[in-house]
Amino acid sequence: MITMVVSDEQREEAFAFYREALQLLKQSGSRFMLGGAFALFQHTGIYRDTKDLDVFCKPNEYPRILKFFAEKGYETQLTDVRWLAKIFKGEFFIDIIFDTVNNICTVDDTWYEHAVHGTFVGENTLFLSPEELIWCKLYVQNRERYDGADVNHILLKKGKDLNWKRLLSRMDAHWHLLLIQILLFQFVYPADYHEIVPRWVFEELMARAHEQYDIPPSQEKVCRGPVIDQTQYMIDIKEWNYKVTTIKTV
């Protein structure tokens, strides 16, 4: 996501681009959901000016979208066949996202089933559910970008109605990250966490943390750092002889 300080005129130009993009996406016949800054706005009310529109879809949808926009005169790019494509119009662009950079959060039919209906720039559309948005953002812990504050704000505004069982299931293989986030939430919002984070979730995760000392350590020297930061842990893999994780959640 690229944020920017803009004038009212620039914002109107951006809105016109978003509106046109959403209308064309609908015309393409593809199923899609909005994520990124505008899903965050939908769930928290936090608005950020940005030049990009984050569109999530299943992997089998993005070729149709790229082809449709190319026929309409847009510049298209398959940026990374594993998770990302782009559509450009001048200084504005659409990120077509069908996975995450770590190939863990692959978009499937369940994302659409739990997506939230809403309106953006006058167009009815679907937004990522708060559970999927949190799931994706928990893995963004790079030196250059860290989404922990975004997750805290989603929890603050949506935590009482969150499907915690589904979120816990999403994070099952990497539950440590959810526990870390909950502890951070407790630190940031000492007056709110009692009412927002169910006690059973915290106790379940803490029990798992305690159990880590009751089982033997991994025989393989694995570094799971690249799951959350694809650059800062490369020294572990390239020089310190750690093996990179290949765990993928369901």
Is pLDDT larger for residue 133 or for residue 10?
133
User: Which of 46-55, 98-107, 130-139, 203-212 is least confident?
Assistant: 46-55
- Mean pLDDT over residues 228-238, rounded? 94
CATH code of residue 100: 3.30.460.40
Per-residue model confidence as pLDDT tens digits over 139-186: 999 999 999 999 999 999 999 999 999 999 999 999 999 999 999 999
* pLDDT at residue 134 tops 70: yes
Which pLDDT value is given to residue 50? Answer: 81
- List pLDDT tens digits, range 51-88: 889 999 999 999 999 999 999 999 999 999 999 999 99
Core vs surface per residue 104-138: b (16+ CB within 10 A) or e? bbbbeeebbeebbebebbebebbbbbbbbbbbbbb
| Residue ranges making up the domain that contains 73 | 1-128
Q: How far apart are CA 229 and CA 223, in angstroms?
A: 11
Q: Can you count the helices (H) and strands (E) in the chain? A: 11, 9
Mean pLDDT, residues 39-53:
92
What mean pLDDT value characterizes the chain? 94
Looking at residue 5, its pLDDT comes to: 45
Within a domain: 61 = yes
pLDDT tens digits, residue range 93-128? 999 999 999 999 999 999 999 999 999 999 999 999
Q: Is residue 146 assigned to a domain?
A: no
Instruction: Look at residues 74, 94, 128 and tell me which one is the last residue of a structural domain.
Output: 128
Instruction: Classify residue 116: in a domain, yes or no.
Output: yes
Q: What is the Cβ-side half-sphere exposure of residue 224, based on CA atoms within 13 angstroms? A: 10
Position 194 in a domain = no
| Nearest CA-CA partner of 203 in 179, 171, 174 | 179
Residues 63, 71: Cα–Cα separation, whole Å: 12
**Can you state the percent helix, strand and coil of the chain, rounding each to 5?**
50, 15, 35
What's the pLDDT band for 9 if we cut at 50, 70, 90? confident
Q: What is the pLDDT of residue 246?
A: 61
Tell me, yes or no, whether 249 lies in a domain: no
Judged against a pLDDT cut of 60, whether residue 250 lies above it is answered with no
Last residue of a domain, one of 99, 128, 157: 128
Lowest mean pLDDT among 126-135, 163-172, 206-215, 239-248: 239-248
On whether both 114 and 224 belong to a single domain, the answer is no
Domain count, the chain: 2
